[in-house]
Every structure is written in structure tokens, then in C-alpha cells.
Chain A
Amino acid sequence: MAAASINLLPIELSPQSGAAKTANLFKRIAIVYGAIVVVFLIGAGAFILLMSVQSSSIKNQNAALTARITTLEAAEQKTVLIRDRLEKIKGVIAGSVGMEKNLVNLSNVISILPSGVAIASAEVDSTRTKFTVSGSSSQEIAVFLSSLVAQKIYPNLILKTFSFNPGSGYVVSFDSLDAK
């Protein structure tokens, strides 16, 4: 025997069909919404938990790495010392480039001195070279001057004085600073 649906409420106490439909829709929305909220809360909680576990694991790994690095502290100290020295030495070396270049240039000048011509004096600092050569014959001096020009040791060089006296012969002085 099929169950019959009997509404014993008086008609005036029954809700209107539109209101009942809306209430039904709201119920469904509330249920779906509630389910979404619950899923979101559980998902978020699980995500936070997972990340916290992961974070804790990395923390432990970092602690182990730190402990191993501490055992190599001596090596780190040496490296810090080396880096400190290198930085400062680099500064000193950078400041000596001009002098080294001028010294090499003077050395090159001396290497092209022909026999009979000698370096009489020189004054060298990081920015300037002054030197004087002396020779007994004008021919030797000419050979030196010709070599000096040919070798292009100095991009610019001023011949400051050219003198002769019977005692010391020909004396020629140069200055590299005024030429710059």
C-alpha cells in the first residue's frame, strides 16, 4: 500500500509555495556553502601543517649544516684574513702602477744608451721622470736621441736643456711631466 502524504496543518498555517521554494534554495546554498567552507578550512589547516612540518625539517637541516660549518671556522677565518689582506694589498699595488711604469721606462732608456753615453742623473716619482744623459761626442748623443725617438719609450718628452762644456762633454736633460 503506497504511503499517502497527508498535511494536517490548516491551509492558513502552511507557507506559500514561493516562500517554500526560496527557503529550499537558501537551504541548498547554505549546505553547499558550508561544505565549501569546511573543505577550505580543512585544506588550509592541512596546508599550514604541511608547511610547518617542512619548515621544521629545514630548520633541523640548517642546524646540522651550521654545526658542520662551525667545525670549519678556522678555514673561514683564514679566508676572511686573506680577503682582508688582498683588498688592502690591491689598494697599495694600484697606487704603485705609475712608479713601476716610470721605472720600466727609465730602465728602457738606460738599455738604449750607446757606448760613450751615460745616465748622469735622474729623478723619478709616480707622475714624473726627469733624467740627464752625458756623452763625449755629438755623434753618440745623436745616436741616443735617434733611438729614443724610434723606441717611443715616452709618448711625450721635453728636451729641457742641451749643453756642452769641454770637461763633461754634451749634457742633455729631459722631462716627461711638462710634456703631458
Chain B
Amino acid sequence: MNKNITINLKILLMPTLAIVVLTIITFVFAGVILDKINTVNADLDALSRSKNVLEAKLSTLTSISGESLTDTSEAASIALPEKNSALLSMAQFRSMASESSLVLENMKVGSEIKDSTTSHVDVTFDVEGPTEGVISYLKSVATIAPINKISKFKISSSGGNIRASVTSSSYWSGFPKTIPAVESPFEPFTADEQKLIDHIASLRKPQFVTLTPEGDSGRVDPFSL
């Protein structure tokens, strides 16, 4: 009887052992393989997303790069310069007054005021002339580069003319120091940004005069008669 049981167990042992071993293999390897598949899949997803971002970025950069971008960046840098813009603003105020035949007096510059993202100085001045001319002058302050904002003004009549005592803030801000990582997404300018770009491009720019150095004229002989 015992011999029979042993023989029965013997013939069942091998297939049972095989099933157990296969089950263990399945559990151990399935976990490892599924983990690996998930990792590779996640990597592939990330790479594909990165590729899409890079392709879009390249396409946008290729389409916008060119002369107009250079012009826009120059216009933006003049509209909001890197350093104190008081002198440029004063030059603009003088130039505008001169063109409109208005009298500009008592121009003063205050001290620097730092805001959260920009800095500004208050430029105060008096402008005198015919009423329409002065009002038109005040309106045109918003159309000059560097960006200026009239914070207040007082008007008083002076003979047949009016005199406006104006306080205008002239703005500037340091340039950005870093550019985003190459892999970061890049969006083309939005409609609002494009509108603002057009506005900046239309601003009256200061006239820069480039002085060319004179050549050596040679030493004049002070003793020659």
C-alpha cells in the first residue's frame, strides 16, 4: 500500500514541481519586466514630448528670426532701456517742445524710485504755449520712447497762453540675465503681445547722433610764423 502511494507521488512530483517553478518564475519576472516596460514607456513618452516641444520651438524660432526681430528688440530696448532713461526722456521733451514751438523751462530730475519690476525717476518741467499746442504736447508724452507716464500736471493761464507744470515718470529696467533651457517650450508672440509690439514700434525714438572721431591733424608748430 505504502509503495503504491510513493509511486503515485513520484509520478505527480515532476509536473507539480514544474508548475510551481513556472509560477515562481512568472511572478518574479513579470514584476521585473512590467517595471522595465513602464520605465521604458515613460522614457519614450518624455522623449516624444520633448521632441514635439523642440520641433515646435525650432519651427517658431526659424519663422520669427530675422531683421524684424532685431528691429523689435531694439525698439523694445529703447522703449524700456536698461539704464536710467532720464536723459533720453529730457532730450525727447526738449525736441518735442522745439518742434511744436513751445517754451520748455525748469526741467528737473528727481531721484530713482524702484518699483517691483522697473525703476523710474520723476522729470518735472514747465511747458508754455497756446492751449491746443500744450494739450497736444501733453498727449504726445505717451507716444515717446523711453516710456513715460505723466503722473500729474497743473495748468495755469499766462497771458493768451497756458503754462503746464508737468511731472512725468521715466521708466527703465535691467535686461534679463538668463534664457530658458533649450528644452523649455517656446510660444510665438500672442495677439496681445503683437499689438503691444506694434505700439512700441510706433513710438517716437530719440535721435541718436553718432560722432565719428576726427583723424590726427598733426602737431601744429607754435613757433612757425
Contacts and interface: CB of A to CB of B under 8 A. Distances in A.
Contacts of A29: 15, 19
Contacts of A92: 80, 118, 147, 149, 171
Interface stretch (A113-121, A136-144, A157-165): A113-121
A73 to B, nearest CB: 7
A22 B12 contact: yes
Contacts of B132: 110
Interface in B145-198: 147, 149-157, 162, 171, 173, 175-176, 179-180, 182-183, 186, 189, 193, 196-197
Nearest to B196: A86
A13 B131 contact: no
A30 interface: yes
B91 interface: no
A55 B147 CA distance: 50
A20 interface: yes
User: Which of under 10, 10 to 19, 20 to 34, or 35 or more describes the interface residues of B?
Assistant: 35 or more
A58 B44 contact: yes
Contacts of A12: 3-4
Contact of A72 (B36, B37, B65): B65
Given A33-B19, A88-B117, A82 B44 contact: no
Contacts of A19: 7-8, 11-12
Given A55-B43, A72-B61, A62 B147 contact: no
B152 A124 contact: yes
B36 A48 contact: yes
B80 A85 contact: yes
Interface stretch (B52-60, B100-108, B212-220): B52-60
B118 A15 contact: no
Given A85-B76, A85-B80, A103-B139, A90 B196 contact: yes
A15 B61 contact: no
From A47, A81, A86, name the one whose CB has the most chain B CB atoms within 10 angstroms.
A86
A54 interface: yes
A149 interface: no
A78 B33 contact: no
Chain B at the A interface: SS class: helix
Interface in A10-56: 12-16, 19-20, 22-23, 26-27, 29-30, 33-34, 37, 40-41, 44, 47-48, 51-52, 54-55
B125 to A, nearest CB: 16
Interface in A66-121: 66, 68-70, 72-93, 95-96, 99-100, 103-104, 106-107, 110, 118-121
User: Which of under 10, 10 to 19, 20 to 34, or 35 or more describes the interface residues of A?
Assistant: 35 or more
B167 to A, nearest CB: 9
B29 A99 contact: no
Interface in B73-110: 73, 76-77, 79-80
Contacts of B113: none
A122 interface: yes
A178 interface: no
A34 B196 CA distance: 70
B135 to A, nearest CB: 5
A20 B118 CA distance: 91
B50 A75 contact: no
B6 to A, nearest CB: 10
A110 B77 contact: no
B33 to A, nearest CB: 4
Contacts of A107: 135, 139
20 contacts: A12-B4, A26-B19, A27-B18, A30-B19, A30-B22, A51-B44, A58-B48, A65-B54, A66-B182, A78-B72, A82-B73, A83-B193, A84-B176, A86-B196, A86-B197, A88-B117, A88-B118, A95-B149, A110-B131, A131-B155
Given A33-B19, A55-B47, A91-B118, 20 more contacts: A15-B7, A15-B8, A23-B14, A26-B19, A48-B33, A62-B51, A65-B55, A72-B65, A74-B65, A75-B64, A79-B61, A79-B69, A85-B80, A85-B200, A91-B117, A92-B147, A103-B138, A118-B157, A119-B157, A123-B155
